[in-house]
Structure 1
Amino acid sequence: MKRDVSCHLELSADGPAELVFSVAVARGVPVVSESLLVTSSGALLEPVEIVDQHGTRLHRVRVDAGPVVLDYAATADGLAQPAPVDDLDRLRYLRQSRYCESDTLAPTAAAEFGGLAGASLLAAVVEWVHDRIAYVSGASVATDSALDTLLARQGVCRDFAHLSIALLRALGVPARLAAVYAPGLSPMEFHAVCEAMVDDAWWVVDATRLAPRQSLLRVATGRDAADTAFLTSFGAPVGLTALEVTAVAGQFELDDPSRLTRLR
């Protein structure tokens, strides 16, 4: 499957700062062309690439006060091979994390999904979150967690993913968050989905049902949004003034939410 993706970021730094971008497609994806340009007050910078254990490619730059612009574009043609699952994955993604309070939500998970397992459990959790949480742009803030989402009954993609992850972990299923480019998504933006481990393999589930899972293109992988943000900054305050994302796939498939699907 051919997929073309891009993003354009405009930032304003109040002073010297270190920026870490997570916008490039993950290592292992068959990329046939790619470009990444970062400028600070018009001067071209040379980002330092750091790759984590899941193939997430972080690009770090240091900037001074003034405007910062990032332009990224890539074409992927083909599907990534699934990464092997190890014992560290099984442990790390069972633990509660900043945005996924699986311990607090354990009674809810047991009451709603007790007795289910495997693909049936994944389908039931997705259906439950989809039916109870309304997708509302701007409804949540960066500090909202899975519990906040459940109480508010509304959120955006990361909130749907966090709640799905927390419920699955509470039931003994390793689960994690993946940031992706999502052809077919409307409105177009960076997207977040949940990956859950069944039979020693990772399967993608998306309770928003806003984009076909077969078209998704991995960017970053982690415990929750704290590990997968498209921008992290240190030092002087940095503001986001413009964000544009595009993602186009050569073909789309009808997505059956009950079918196990890999993120590739």
Structure 2
Amino acid sequence: MPTREVSARIDFEVTEATELEFQIAVAHRRGVLVEEELTFTANGRDVAATEFAASHGGRIHVLRDVAPTSGTAWYRARIEVQDGRDDAGTAGATADLHDRSLYLRPSRYVPVDRFYPFAASEFGTADPIPAERPYETAAAVTSWVAKRMAYLPVSDSHTDAADTLLASAGVCRDQAHLVIALLRALNVPARFVAVYAPGCDPMDFHAVAEALGPDGWRVYDPTGLAPRNSLVRIATGRDAADTAFLDNHGGSLNLTGTTITATVPGALPADDPAERVRLP
């Protein structure tokens, strides 16, 4: 059973009373066992958080009515990864029908309606991708993005997939959005995943895309910053708006620091671009 060890420290300063939401805990998934420590402090004192379930095993931790203060979120986990079925089951199941509908739609950072003509022209088809070929399409789109996008921090919180295409540059979040936009425009359901990524340099939270095919969801990463079969799922959604590691409702806050780690014992596993990798 491959082992992953991950941790996160998030330092923040609340400047006006607010409600905080964190998505830093490893998702509860079939075939994954997690031992963890999760602590929130404010002014040096522990603060109780409320946990509720997000989609696809994700977990959101909420701190309510946080007064102006400095604080820290700590997380540490050891994950024993086991073989298991995709949560999506087999194509045609009820879960798949819902996912297919949801993950073909436009979303905040994936304005797919702006990509239909471009995707059809660039990838040579305006017809639905045959049911047996979504993975090949996802691999082709990922390769296309990898070749054309420079990995540069040129984006901000307003940058969507169309902006990234025009800039020909972006970080992992931006490139994942572009892969997802092109796949949805080609009628392949695609979603966004925030992960811990052993081998990522510089180390940080990482973002990848998943595409749905007849054998469930498979993961694609145009940046190649970390082996896909070392990744650990945190949060899953339509785009980065659904998976932010820190969000607030009302009031205001400043992010003052982050420290992320993710390791595997021994050497990192090889990543064969032709392999269809399932993210636990």
Q: TM-score range by the shorter chain?
A: over 0.9
CA contact (8 A) 1:12 1:67 kept: yes
Pick from 41, 49, 63: which aligns with 1:61? Answer: 63
Q: Which residue of 1 aligns with 2:113?
A: 103
Q: Which residue of 2 aligns with 1:133?
A: 149
Pick from 45, 48, 51: which aligns with 1:46? Answer: 48
- What letter is aligned with 1:135? Y
Q: Does 1:253 align with 2:274?
A: no
Query: CA offsets per residue over residues 158-179 of structure 1, 9 Å max, x none?
Result: 1000000000000000000000
TM-score calculated relative to the size of structure 1: 0.96
Q: 2: distance between equivalents of 1:48 and 1:160?
A: 33
Show structure 1 runs of 4+ deviating over 3 A: none
Question: By how many angstroms is 1:200 displaced?
Answer: 4.6
- What letter is aligned with 1:75? R
CA contact (8 A) 1:119 1:258 kept: no
Query: CA offsets per residue over residues 114-148 of structure 1, 9 Å max, x none?
Result: 35643321111011100111111x32101100000
Comparing 58-67 with 84-93, which one deviates more in the overlay? 84-93
Specify every segment of 5 or more residues in structure 2 that has no aligned partner in the other structure, as ranges: 90-94
Aligned to 2:113, the other structure's residue is in SS state: coil
Aligned runs of 1:69-108 on 2, under 5 Å? 69-79=72-82, 81=84, 82-85=86-89, 86=95, 87-108=97-118
Q: 2: distance between equivalents of 1:182 and 1:213?
A: 8
Change (3 A) 1:61 1:80: farther
- What letter is aligned with 2:39? L
Q: Which residue of 2 aligns with 1:18?
A: 19
TM-score calculated relative to the size of structure 2: 0.91
Question: By how many angstroms is 1:80 displaced?
Answer: 6.4
Q: Which residue of 1 aligns with 2:124?
A: 114
Aligned to 1:134, the other structure's residue is in SS state: coil
Question: By how many angstroms is 1:68 displaced?
Answer: 1.2
- What letter is aligned with 1:129? V
Aligned runs of 1:196-211 on 2, under 5 Å? 196-211=211-226
Q: 2: distance between equivalents of 1:252 and 1:48?
A: 35
CA contact (8 A) 1:16 1:64 kept: yes
Q: Does 1:124 align with 2:140?
A: yes
Comparing 30-39 with 10-19, which one deviates more in the overlay? 30-39
Q: Which residue of 2 aligns with 1:153?
A: 168
Q: 1: distance between equivalents of 2:4 and 2:14?
A: 32
CA contact (8 A) 2:55 2:236 kept: no
Question: By how many angstroms is 1:43 displaced?
Answer: 1.8
Q: State the aligned residue count.
A: 263
Question: By how many angstroms is 1:198 displaced?
Answer: 1.4
Q: 2: distance between equivalents of 1:95 and 1:80?
A: 31
CA contact (8 A) 2:88 2:217 kept: no
Q: Which residue of 1 aligns with 2:92?
A: none
Comparing 97-106 with 160-169, which one deviates more in the overlay? 97-106
Pick from 175, 188, 192: which aligns with 2:203? Answer: 188
CA contact (8 A) 1:203 1:260 kept: yes
Root-mean-square deviation (Å): 1.4
CA contact (8 A) 1:102 1:170 kept: yes
Q: Does 1:230 align with 2:245?
A: yes
